[in-house]
Amino acid sequence: MGPVAAVTDLLRAAGAALYGAAWEARRRAYAAGLRTPRRVAARVVSVGNLTVGGTGKTTLVLHLAAAARARGLEPAVVCRRYRPGPAGEGDEERMFRAALGAGAVYAGASKRDLAAAAARAGRRLVLVDDGFSHWGLERDLDVVLLDARDPWEEGRLLPAGRLREPLRALQRAGVVVVTRLAPGEDAAPWLARAGRHAPAARLAAGRHAPDGVRWLAGGEVPAGARAWVLTATGNPAAVEATAREAGLAVVGRSTFRDHHWFSAGEARAARARAARAGAALVVTAKDAVRWPAAAGVEGVAVLAVRWAWVAGGEAAERAVFGEEAR
């Protein structure tokens, strides 16, 4: 290790120590009653991460919202308006509105205020996207996702590692879901690992199963088609793996930072790159809502995914909807 790398590691370690001290101070403030979370007149369930990066929260939130409606409930989804695009909307906000209707989605800066607004509007179930670390809002249940392909057990806080909170924070979780399992992979070892850190939580496992590849202009992309993946999501490697699982022959990948809104120039360049490779340009549904109309859609396809439980799904959903106490 060179001197620059050594200094960088020391700075990151110092930053992680400060980050951890701040987290502990906040935890103690809430535990001592010096700070009080806001309670709203609805069942509040957060779906969040312990680490930075994409674990697939959006897909699970959409699945839970659909499951709520199947039970006769009208859920609200609360999300942060993160890196909004030209129209002032965030990408996840757009996805939720497209799937659930505008009236079911509450987006903005304060999740606490948004949840209160949803409750005042008569929503009796509020799903808080990325809400695990939002201590200012009292929840009935925390659902925490752990990516099987991410080294979440390394135990290093930001900025030295990828943890937003220490592993012991999993003790707050009511449901822990291990995500990104490979097709046919045994969930039991992963559930055992998660259970060591969250002994009181319901344990479940799930994955993002491909649900077809469709041209933006309409029609299905045939299996075996050559594909160039373009994505601005938290886990580009997972997107590529899902594209391969969908039967596409991936020949290349272009990535941008998470939540990036493609300019018309960037989009046209990506289309041209895919065309030179004799491939379709394949994006995720989240990328598709950030695709600029001015760039055109010829040769551009969307990789659709759906949430699929691998283990513990029924019990996890009963916990989410508060059915265990009935």
Angstrom CA distances, 260 to 61, 123, 125, 239, stand at 21, 31, 30, 16
| 52 labeled binding residue | yes
pTM of the model: 0.94
- pLDDT over threshold 80, residue 3: no
- pLDDT over threshold 90, residue 234: no
pLDDT of 4 = 66
| 55 labeled binding residue | yes
pLDDT of 326 = 45
Burial of 107 (C-beta count, 10 Å sphere; 0-12/13-18/19+): buried
pLDDT of 82 = 84
Q: Give percent above pLDDT 70 in the chain.
A: 98
pLDDT tens digits for range 299-316: 999 999 999 999 999 999
| 53 labeled binding residue | yes
Domains annotated for the chain, with CATH where assigned, are 43-208+308-320 (3.40.50.300), 209-306 (3.40.50)
pLDDT tens digits for range 106-119: 999 999 999 999 99
At residue 147, what is the residue type?
D
pLDDT tens digits for range 137-189: 999 999 999 999 887 887 799 999 889 999 999 999 999 999 999 899 999 99
| 58 labeled binding residue | yes
| 57 labeled binding residue | yes
The chain-wide mean pLDDT, for the chain, equals 94
